[in-house]
Structure 1
Amino acid sequence: MPLPGATRAVDRAIADRRIAGAVVLVSRDGELVHEQAAGMADLESQTPMTPTTVFRLASVTKPVTAVATMHLVEQGALDLTSPITHWLPDFRPTLADGSEPDVTVDHLLTHTAGLAYRKAEPPGSDYDRLEVSDGLDRTDLTLAENLARIGRTTLRALPGTEFRYSLAYDVLGALIAAATGTTLQRAFHELISEPLRLHSLGFSVGERTPVATAYSDGLIPITDEPIPNGINVSRYSPERIFDPTQWPSGGTGAAAHAHDIRSILDTVALGGGTLLRSSTVAEMYAGRISQELTPTVRESFGRGWAVTSPDTSPLLGLPVHAVHWGGVYGHSWSIDPATRTVVVALTNTTPEGMAGAFPTDVARAAHVDLAEGRLD
């Protein structure tokens, strides 16, 4: 029973050639109320999108990493306030003055650890000189080797004082592996996939897996060539997901189809289920650090996601206090805790599918459809 407004928003974006294709799911109280697979997974072969098309998740990996981290906190394998050197003794980045402040799990979860992304730093920064991987490129590095490089960078701020979107979730991935004594892939499987019976979530896929081709705006296929981003360059390798030797990025490296992402977010929306206690979910929803999007627009960031503010609600088409984030390959998702509504919108076109009109159009239409009881 599709939502008519949401359906039109997706169809319009495809007709306007703003996106190649999309899978959009909307649920309320754990019940699927909208499923739409539209457009093309691959334009050259005219392969249509299907509900089980797999996407490179990019930063949609981050809420999965956050849930796995908080599950380990509940078990006592991690804690939020101890220095992470308890589990990663060699990870000791310093401030510009040479001092070595403590970095905690909570700093990593809220992007207040003082770390950065290489692509967001000016050319020639220490991230460039150390050739740190942002988790989207294809390299010969291991997780441990990239962690060591991150650990040799200079912290951009005293931990706990400033929101800075960063490689913090890649450090969390290493932390999860250390705390569980296994690989991050195996930890995701045991902590997330097995309890929820997920089938597609992983850090690599087989060559025959139906993976959506990645496009940039203008429906141009993304290649391994660096893409200027106005500050530095973004380094992508769409083929990375087919190579099981690539290091598992807890910030950007996983793949899955939309229904597996919806299952994880539904579990959170319904109070945590087999993954988390309801009290833990409530703590994850709370905004803990303010982030300035423009001089006049602010919202908060919680443990794993942004928290919609009165400033950003009309811009995002989401209720105040909804949590949300995106993925640089062209994705968006949200949870409205008040109505337990989940919207998952995965596309294969960036940046439109993540930061263009598309995610706002879909989210706004879905919430209006539900509020007015519109079901086709």
Structure 2
Amino acid sequence: MLQKAVNEQRIVGAVAVVAVDGKIVFRQAVGLADRESGKVMRPETEFRLASMTKPLVTVVAMRLIESGQLHLDDAVTRYLPDFRPRLPDGTEPVIRIRDLMAHTSGLGYRLLEQEDGAYARLGISDGLDDAGISLQENLRRLAEAPLYFEPGKGWRYSLSTDVLGAVIEEITRMSLPEAVARYVTQPLSMTHTRFVARPGEELATPYADGHPTPVRMTHNMTVPLPEGQGHAVRFEPARAFNARAFASGGAGALGNADDFVQFVESIRTGGAPLLQPQSRELMMTDQVGEQAATQGPGWGFGFGWAVLVNPSLAQTPQGKGTLQWGGAYGHNWFVDPQRKLTVVLLTNTAFEGMAGALVTQVRDAVYAGIAP
């Protein structure tokens, strides 16, 4: 099926890993990591992870909560006193840490707006482009955009995790990459996960959906999102090598499938060595209700990922409580605790590997293969 997607030129290349009860039962690379040079995709190939960064950063925040350095109901202004976005009527509501972690802050994403939207007018970066600004400047601009709703009163995918990253930096007095390393990747020996690639290092070359073949991404390339999923994403592949670009808590990490499987497996199996059981349970609990439809009907949202609330409504074989998310460069992953199942799919083609037919095909093939 993965090879079929390559043959049909829906993707250029992919890596998929499936684990059942902690055992790797499928690990395959198909296609090319770089089409123009003919470089073959390998199971250990590294990718720009995009929004797969969010769970990593959210776990850092949860570890700070466990240590008492941060609290879910803290106002964000306790740590970022100048970050004071307002509602359209000019009132200044309180955004709490839990709102950042669950995307109930009222903030948004430029990629979800039309080009005449406030985020575009203010030059706000989604953390995937080359905006040439600091995180502090991006947050200053973000604070000027009107909130979509009163914090805690709705759900909207947003730059909340970038704001959370700034909070983490303020508390730890570390850079966000240093904090993620200390609290997540080093304890799990995730040696391929970081925020900046070394000069000359090879990552999977990113491509955008195209006809008849995917198109190699270029400098600050704008790629329209699938209908009903937003407007467009502005990609700068070279950002992965730019140590001066701000570390985006929502989109900035690099890594490979093996590392990410190790990360989500630690969550599935109880949280250790990263989290205490009660923290892990809280992160896996829906915070917003299935009406939020965060991955379509039946999906709510926990802290850092979508949570399946109603499998029947979602029309999915996944069990209630399944965690799922993806990444704009062409990725999708899920963990089904009921079936002790973890699936990670990384591709170098946006958006087929994130939200195209391949995602459902992989899911259904996995469940067909493990059906009792």
Is the TM value for this pair above 0.5?
yes
Q: Could you tell me whether the CA contact under 8 Å between 2:102 and 2:302 is conserved in 1?
A: yes
Map Cα deviations across residues 153-196 of structure 1 (whole Å, 9 max, x no partner): 11110000111111111111111111111100110111111101
Q: RMSD value over aligned CA atoms?
A: 1.7
Map of 1:138 onto structure 2: 130
Q: For residue 227 of structure 1, what is the amino acid of its counterpart? A: V
Q: Could you tell me whether the CA contact under 8 Å between 2:45 and 2:204 is conserved in 1?
A: yes
Q: For residue 25 of structure 2, what is the amino acid of its counterpart? A: V
Alpha-carbon offset, residue 47 of structure 1: 0.6
Map Cα deviations across residues 245-294 of structure 1 (whole Å, 9 max, x no partner): 11000111111011111111011011111100111111111111134449
Map of 2:39 onto structure 1: 47
Q: Could you tell me whether the CA contact under 8 Å between 1:118 and 1:132 is conserved in 2?
A: yes
- Relative to structure 1, the CA distance from residue 209 to residue 154 in structure 2 (aligned partners, 3 Å threshold; closer, same or farther) is same
What is the 5 A alignment of 1:315-354? Answer: 315=316, 317-354=317-354
Map Cα deviations across residues 97-119 of structure 1 (whole Å, 9 max, x no partner): 21111111111111110000012
Map of 1:221 onto structure 2: 216
In structure 1, C-alpha distance between the alignment counterparts of 2:33 and 2:199, rounded to whole Å = 15
Length-normalised TM-score, structure 1 = 0.92
Map Cα deviations across residues 20-47 of structure 1 (whole Å, 9 max, x no partner): 1111111123222211111110111111
What is the 5 A alignment of 1:243-254? Answer: 243-254=242-253
Q: For residue 10 of structure 1, what is the amino acid of its counterpart? A: L
Alpha-carbon offset, residue 328 of structure 1: 0.8
In structure 2, C-alpha distance between the alignment counterparts of 1:262 and 1:313, rounded to whole Å = 24
What secondary structure is seen at the aligned counterpart in 1 of 2:339? coil
Alpha-carbon offset, residue 61 of structure 1: 0.8
Q: For residue 314 of structure 1, what is the amino acid of its counterpart? A: Q
Matched, 1:111 2:67: no
Query: Which deviates more, 277-286 or 303-312?
Result: 303-312
Map of 1:364 onto structure 2: 364
Q: Which of these residues, 5, 19, 33, is aligned with residue 27 of structure 1?
A: 19
Query: Which deviates more, 115-124 or 268-277?
Result: 115-124
Length-normalised TM-score, structure 2 = 0.93
Map of 2:287 onto structure 1: 288
What is the 5 A alignment of 1:1-376? Answer: 9-218=1-210, 219-223=214-218, 224-229=220-225, 232-290=231-289, 291-293=291-293, 297-308=297-308, 309-311=310-312, 313-315=314-316, 317-372=317-372
Map Cα deviations across residues 55-74 of structure 1 (whole Å, 9 max, x no partner): 01111111111111111111
In structure 1, C-alpha distance between the alignment counterparts of 2:244 and 2:99, rounded to whole Å = 29
Alpha-carbon offset, residue 313 of structure 1: 4.1
In structure 2, C-alpha distance between the alignment counterparts of 1:312 and 1:18, rounded to whole Å = 28
Q: Could you tell me whether the CA contact under 8 Å between 1:63 and 1:304 is conserved in 2?
A: yes
Alpha-carbon offset, residue 323 of structure 1: 0.9
Aligned residues: 362
Q: Could you tell me whether the CA contact under 8 Å between 1:203 and 1:241 is conserved in 2?
A: yes
What secondary structure is seen at the aligned counterpart in 2 of 1:155? coil
Alpha-carbon offset, residue 339 of structure 1: 2.7
In structure 1, C-alpha distance between the alignment counterparts of 2:223 and 2:297, rounded to whole Å = 28
In structure 1, C-alpha distance between the alignment counterparts of 2:168 and 2:274, rounded to whole Å = 15
Alpha-carbon offset, residue 367 of structure 1: 2.5
- Matched-pair identity in %: 40
Q: Which has the higher contact order (CA 8 A, sep 6+)?
A: 1
In structure 1, C-alpha distance between the alignment counterparts of 2:78 and 2:292, rounded to whole Å = 32
What secondary structure is seen at the aligned counterpart in 2 of 1:300? strand
What secondary structure is seen at the aligned counterpart in 1 of 2:179? helix
Map Cα deviations across residues 327-366 of structure 1 (whole Å, 9 max, x no partner): 1110000111123211100000111101111111112212
In structure 2, C-alpha distance between the alignment counterparts of 1:292 and 1:109, rounded to whole Å = 15
Structure 2 unaligned segments of length 5 or more: list them.
none
In structure 2, C-alpha distance between the alignment counterparts of 1:210 and 1:51, rounded to whole Å = 14
